[in-house]
Chain A
Amino acid sequence: MMNEMIPMYSSPVSIYYSILRSAIWNGLPENQIKIDSLLLQKILQNYEEQGLLPLVSPILMSDQIVSYLTQQQQYDVLSRVADNVQLHYKVRDVYMKVFSVLDNNGLKPILVKGEELAERYLQPNLRAVGDIDLFLFPHDAESAVEIIKSIGGNYMGNMGRHHKFILDEIEIELHHRLLCSLKDKREGVGLNTESAITNSIQETYPDIRVLDKTKIKARILPVYSELLYNLAHIAKHIQKGELGLRQFVDMAILVKEYVETKDFECFQKDVYDLQLGRIWNMSAWFIEKYLGLSSPRIHYDMPSEKIQHLFLRLIVNNGNFGKYGGRNSRYLCFKLFPKYSLSRIIDKSSVIFNYLSYPMRYPNRIKEKFVKSKRD
């Protein structure tokens, strides 16, 4: 193992992020990277902790880096990837079984999170996966519970925003709410699905299609809604203090896809209206600085350096703030969501459902609906 460092990647952080950038955007580092074994060990360990090891494996196993890995390290990386590939196929098999039976019974599940996001990656099998996340509106979710039980799903209970099953060793989360604030236990607060249900959702539900890479049949959210969901999801994770790099890799991939549509104004307005502007700006700043993707900012004040520092700590430590975790997390929430409590923001995130209810994005109308539903 060599122990020399090259000038271009002089710090562990820059090497760490250059490997990640290369893995996301499918390019190899511009210069040959020479790293010492200790640093490599740390990188391998961190990627494992963040669930990013499969994603970065093509870079680690590239000609430039593989010679710096011991035989055992190479085996560990490949073994982790092999497990992940097998898990993807298992998850898809179980998904297809559940999807078919729900579809045959007239229910329309939407595939969200893990396997749906994986489809957007260059190599879907290299995104870490664990379970199946499906979304159904509450009245359908109740019927779906019985149907999944009937095909052998082991029902683990209603976890608040989702019903949980184990089927063929794979965990299934049947969401009847996409977003839910941890602190907010008040009745009726959370996702305002009721109003969405009454708005001819059936007509505007995404159609079933065969996904290009994974070849599974699925209904998936349009990238606009998926990005908004991802952003609100990040907001939730900040509140819960369990934010990791993986969420930002997902977000970067969605941002790239969305920005290419050149239709950013509407999204900006929704994000602004939802009071997620600062989270967006902070995330966009992070993605640009560390993941190499520039994205438009929203006209909104940027958080101070202190907040940026806390934000970085939260990400790099995989959401663990350590001894002062609670206090720092609350401080960060307070600064990032100045006007509204997070629960209110999450409540307003029903724009995702409203989006599903309208063929056209129409923020003013959505806004009126929020005001009306609040009055009611």
Chain B
Amino acid sequence: MRLKYNFVFEQVGSIVLGVVIGPDEYKYKQFLRLNEVSYDIMKHLKYDCSEQELIDKFLAEYDVEVDVAKNNIDEVLDFLRKVDVIES
């Protein structure tokens, strides 16, 4: 799976803003308000990436159990599917 649109990210205080740029900005006119975890996952999704690869990368970056990583990733992916920014 990967992001459907060309996102850039900007740190704004305690949050990260996800903004679509280029021709895609006319297709997706929303911006995303992200926390650190969502931002890390979205960065990886700029390129094609399976859920297992995401879990591996997450475990390399955060000192957490596999279950916690999986839950976090599921939660973020659910959100990204809901706002319609990822494609399989």
Contacts and interface: CB of A to CB of B under 8 A. Distances in A.
B83 interface: no
B33 interface: yes
Contacts of B31: 78-79, 82
Contacts of A329: none
Interface string B1-42: 000000010111111010111100100000101000000000
Contacts of B11: 58, 123
Nearest to A124: B10
Interface residues of A, number: 22
Nearest to A59: B13
Interface in A4-62: 57-62
Contact of B19 (A59, A62, A82, A93): A82
Interface string B57-72: 0000000000000000
A78 B14 contact: no
Contacts of B8: 85, 89
B27 to A, nearest CB: 13
Contacts of B15: 61, 78
A58 B19 contact: no
B25 A86 contact: yes
A63 B19 contact: no
A60 B25 CA distance: 26
Contacts of A81: 10, 12, 17
A354 interface: no
Interface in A49-107: 57-63, 65-66, 77-79, 81-82, 85-86, 89-90, 93
A78 B33 contact: yes
A281 interface: no
A235 interface: no
Interface residues of B, number: 15
A125 B10 contact: yes
B21 A82 contact: no
A252 interface: no
Nearest to B30: A82
B21 A58 contact: no
A126 interface: yes
A60 B15 CA distance: 11
Nearest to A60: B13
Contacts of A59: 13
A86 B19 contact: yes
Contacts of B21: 85-86, 89-90
Contacts of A60: 13
B46 to A, nearest CB: 15
Nearest to B31: A82
A325 B22 CA distance: 43
Interface of B: 8, 10-15, 17, 19-22, 25, 31, 33
Pairs of residues from A and B, 4 with the lowest C-beta to C-beta distance, nearest first: A61-B13, A82-B31, A62-B13, A89-B21
Given A59-B13, A77-B12, A123-B10, 8 more contacts: A58-B12, A61-B15, A62-B13, A66-B13, A78-B17, A82-B31, A85-B8, A85-B19
19 contacts: A57-B12, A57-B13, A58-B13, A59-B13, A61-B12, A63-B13, A77-B12, A78-B12, A78-B31, A81-B17, A82-B17, A85-B10, A85-B17, A85-B21, A86-B19, A89-B22, A90-B21, A123-B11, A125-B10
